[in-house]
Each structure stands twice: as structure tokens, then as C-alpha cells.
Amino acid sequence: DGGITQSPKYLFRKEGQNVTLSCEQNLNHDAMYWYRQDPGQGLRLIYYSQIVNDFQKGDIAEGYSVSREKKESFPLTVTSAQKNPTAFYLCASSIDDSEQFFGPGTRLTVL
């Protein structure tokens, strides 16, 4: 959505390298989320954060790490421990844990 930006839209990395995906929002939302989507599948929750300096694991957190040092930013690092990192990554935010607003996504390809 207009208030959430993810960059870049496409990202290529070599196997074994860590990579950080950015997510920024100017909606003044407290909660932020990271999802992963594989072809033909629904979204799966990786991590979420309800407030600055706090975050929780979702259903598939292994191989990922996050930080929430600022309200506006929730970067996701895909580490070399993630076995199948190639996927479409979506960031979302919400004002009060209700409806979530999504960014345009980053398509990560690990070669």
C-alpha cells in the first residue's frame, strides 16, 4: 500500500550470503509483520512486532532474524541458515493488530 515501502522489488543473492530486506512505513502503525509466500501458496508469518524493541516469532522463523529499533522500520535478514530462501517476501503493518496493510513485496532469488 502507499504508506509501506519495500525495496528493492527484485533481489538476487548467492547461496550462503546473508541478505537484508527493508520495510518502512509512514502510517504511524505500531505493529509490523513479515510474511513469506511461495508459488501457488498462501502467506506464512515469519516474524511480527507489536512495539519498538520487541518482536515475536511466527510460524516459520528459523533462518530469519529481525530488528525493530524504530517504529517506522522493520528489516528482515535472511540468513544462510534458511534452507530455501527463494520466495516472495511481504511486509505489513497495522495500527492496532486489526486489518493489516501490505507493502508491494520483494522477490528474493538465491542463485
Partner 1 sequence: DAKTTQPTSMDCAEGRAANLPCNHSTISGNEYVYWYRQIHSQGPQYIIHGLKNNETNEMASLIITEDRKSSTLILPHATLRDTAVYYCIVSPHTGNQFYFGTGTSLTVIP
Q: Which of residues 80-99 bind partner 1 (CB under 8 A)?
A: 88, 90, 92, 94, 96-99
Nearer residue to partner 1 within complex by CB, 4 or 110: 4
The Cβ of residue 73 has, within 10 Å, a number of other Cβ atoms equal to: 14
Residues in contact with partner 1, shown as a per-residue x/- string from 18 to 37 under the rule CB under 8 A: -------------x-x-x--
Of 14-22, 41-49, 60-68, 77-85, the segment contacting partner 1 by CB under 8 A is: 41-49
CA dist list (Å): 58 to 16, 21, 65, 110: 23, 17, 11, 22
List beta partners, residue 12: 109
Q: Which amino acid is at 14?
A: K
Looking at the Cβ atoms of 22 and 79, the one nearer to partner 1 is: 22
* Of the residues 1, 12, 26, 81, which one makes contact with partner 1 according to CB under 8 A: 1
| CB neighbours of residue 25 within 10 Å | 22
| Chain center to CA of 71 | 14
List beta partners, residue 32. Answer: 49, 93
Q: Site residues (CB under 8 A) for partner 1?
A: 1, 4, 31, 33, 35, 40-45, 48, 50, 88, 90, 92, 94, 96-105, 107
